[in-house]
A and B are shown apart, each in its own frame.
Chain A
Amino acid sequence: MSKISPSKGAPYARIMGVGGYRPTRVVPNEVILETIDSSDEWIRSRSGIASRHWASPEETVAAMSIEAAGKAIADAGVTPEQIDAVIVSTVSHFKQTPAIATEIAHGIGAGKPAAFDISAGCAGFGYGLTLAKGMIVDGSAGHVLVIGVERLSDLTDLTDRATAFLFGDGAGAVVVGPAKEPMMGPTVWGSEGDKAQTIRQTEPWTAYRDGGRPEKFPAIAQEGQSVFRWAVFEMAKVAQQALDAAGIGPADLDVFIPHQANMRIIDSMVKTLKLPESVTVARDVETTGNTSAASIPLAMERLLATGKAKSGDTALVIGFGAGLVYAATVVTLP
């Protein structure tokens, strides 16, 4: 057996910078009421959502990602050439191949980085973050761009009362790079495939080929109550496990950034985790809706931009959704 040189990485990894892109068009609940029988009051009380952003035809998955990535790279104080890998998490890019990550990498002027897409629903950002950390510590990349991006308005059935008001569009990005001390805790992640049907695409794309056109364009459908129960009770446990794994008690925590699915889920998790008043909680869902993989970096960017959180703060992030899948970790904010 020949001796193989080991790869040499950084001792630890950290999030160095964050950036976001929100589509120009703001869609208030009144617009949603044009297609479903509901009320502004009901939508606000059940979800906390008042408005969301929907992308225009020009605000493509790639265009939004390039905007968010440019900001994250500038915030990190690196150059596009220093990006060695681009990981894009999305479920709403409608071309199977090539991966949208390569177009985005080219679009930001990154040279020839490794580039690929992942599909992990609303946990996609945490999955990407975990891969990036491994790549930095392993030495296969010096800096990794992790992007969560969605155009969920393309996958929304506007006549479905259970989902029409929930989803929004946008892109969030971070640059992960080397660190001298631990600034990203262990990830607690997993999947529960026995619940694969609770959040799902209504029809496979091949329905268009086999047996003619489906009545409606495929959309995301869900069993709202089952998902709510799972999110509120099972995910609070996962969040606690991530705190424990990082050796962080609720009093050591500055910021809580859960996936922005529903304000009621966020409120309930805060209660179950017994987070003290001093912890800043991301409540971006009110004006952004659920943007799946983009929701955590978008919320992180806004908390930092508005001064509600600051660089160096200790944050618990948890993503959860279609799969069902989840990922939680404690990070130091950039």
Chain B
Amino acid sequence: MAATQEEIVAGLAEIVNEIAGIPVEDVQLDKSFTDDLDVDSLSMVEVVVAAEERFDVKIPDDDVKELKTVGDAADYIAKHQS
């Protein structure tokens, strides 16, 4: 069953917490991964792969660059999850 946006953001928050040590409550829709959450381009690759597993989506390398904010990632996952 497809996850709701709320579930996706909560899931992303756990992933970002695990990878970059950012408190889950800081992971909000409008937050930029690199500027606000200390997720650099390589950590972002780790976030993306963890999200792929968790939400059963494929996020190709070329699309990763478009995912600037938590909201971008949540929308992408909502649109592409099977």
A residues near B (Cβ < 8 Å) are 45-46, 223, 225-226, 228-229, 232-233, 264, 268
Contacts and interface: CB of A to CB of B under 8 A. Distances in A.
Interface in B12-67: 40-42, 45-46, 48-49, 61, 64
15 contacts: A45-B40, A46-B40, A223-B61, A225-B41, A225-B42, A226-B61, A228-B42, A228-B45, A229-B48, A229-B49, A229-B61, A232-B46, A232-B49, A233-B49, A264-B42
A225 B40 CA distance: 12
B69 to A, nearest CB: 19
A226 B42 CA distance: 10
Interface residues of B, number: 9
Nearest to A198: B61
A177 to B, nearest CB: 40
Interface of B: 40-42, 45-46, 48-49, 61, 64
B42 A46 contact: yes
What DSSP secondary structure best describes chain A's contact surface? Answer: helix
A229 B40 contact: no
Contacts of A229: 45, 48-49, 61
The CB with the most chain B CB atoms within 10 A, among A45, A225, A232, A264, is that of A225
Contact of B61 (A45, A225, A233): A225
Nearest to A233: B49
A226 B65 CA distance: 12
Contacts of B45: 225, 228-229, 232
Nearest to A223: B61
A310 to B, nearest CB: 33
Contact of B46 (A45, A46, A226, A268): A268
Contacts of A228: 42, 45
Given A226-B61, A233-B49, 6 more contacts: A45-B40, A223-B61, A225-B45, A225-B64, A229-B49, A232-B49
A268 B20 CA distance: 12
Nearest to B65: A225
Contacts of A46: 40-42
Contacts of B41: 46, 225
B66 to A, nearest CB: 13
The CB with the most chain A CB atoms within 10 A, among B40, B42, B45, is that of B42
| Closest CB pairs A-B (n = 10) | A229-B45, A226-B61, A264-B42, A225-B61, A233-B49, A228-B45, A225-B45, A228-B42, A46-B42, A268-B46
